[in-house]
Amino acid sequence: MINVINFFCLKKTDMKENRFYTYIYLDPRKKGGFTYGKYVFKYEPFYVGKGSYDQYKYHLREAINRNKSSSNKHKFYKIKKILKENLEPIILKVEEGLKEQESFDLEIWLIWAIGRNDLKLGPLVNLTNGGEGDSHTNETKEKISKSLKGWDGYWKGKKRSKEDKYKIGSANRGKPLSEETKLKIKKSTLGEKNHNYGKKGQPAWNKGIPCSEETRLKISNSLKGSIPWNKGIKE
């Protein structure tokens, strides 16, 4: 009898742990073939989330009830526009019967693979990279942080397309560079030996490098009409 009780208790616990799913909202106005890894959608995705029970319906109810207090206005008005055309967003559970961490991992991957609209990387109206939740332990938060950092490792040894490079460049355009990043760029451009050029006691970066006639002509033309920097300075 004890074994039977333990069996049913285990099953109940498993069901509670595996109640999570990852869902996606599709725009019924934009039909096509949208493939991301093994997942194929017939309509354009615009939002990815993670939930349990009937949580996936929340965003639709929010728009129907005109709850403008939504923290994601872009998502709210996107669904409102679809409803105004007498349509409803298509809501799919991409994977269900998952543990919470599994649903978070899939949410993070889908957002990365499809791309966020605010970063100009894709059609998603998500404002974060996913993986948020009140039930996170410090260990879980660390795992999510590592999983996001790990996307750089995904590209290691692989060539990025011109489109991917353009998307990444657009997303980062206008962002201030850290001092560490500036130093890395300087080193990669000038070489390790010359990254301190211009500092007192350091040689010029181009010292000892002969100029071509074309370069000399360009320098000469650019300086024509300008006042020498050392004019009037006595040696």
HEC profile of 153-179: HHCCCCCCCHHHHHHHHHHHCCCCCCH
Helix runs in the chain, H state only: 2-17, 58-64, 73-84, 100-114, 138-149, 151-154, 162-172, 179-190, 213-223
Q: For residues 205 and 32, what is the distance between their CA atoms, to the nearest angstrom?
A: 54
Residue scoring higher pLDDT (106 or 230): 106
Q: Read off the pLDDT of residues 16-44 as tens digits, 9 standing for 90 and up.
A: 678 899 999 999 999 999 999 999 999 99
- CA nearest neighbour of 131 among 110, 114, 153, 150: 110
Determine the Cα–Cα distance for residues 69 and 8; give it in Å rounded to an integer.
43
State the amino acid at position 234 in one-letter form.
K
Residue 103 burial (C-beta neighbours within 10 Å; 0-12, 13-18, 19+): buried
Residue carrying structure tokens 């005109």: 66
Q: Which of 60-64, 99-103, 185-189, 194-198 has the highest mean pLDDT?
A: 99-103
Longest dimension (CA), the chain: 104
pTM above 0.75, yes or no: no
113-171: per-residue pLDDT in tens?
Answer: 999 999 999 999 999 999 876 444 455 555 545 554 545 454 555 566 666 666 666 66
- In the sheet that holds 39-52, the strands lie side by side as 39-52, 20-36, 90-98
CB count in 10 Å sphere of residue 104: 24
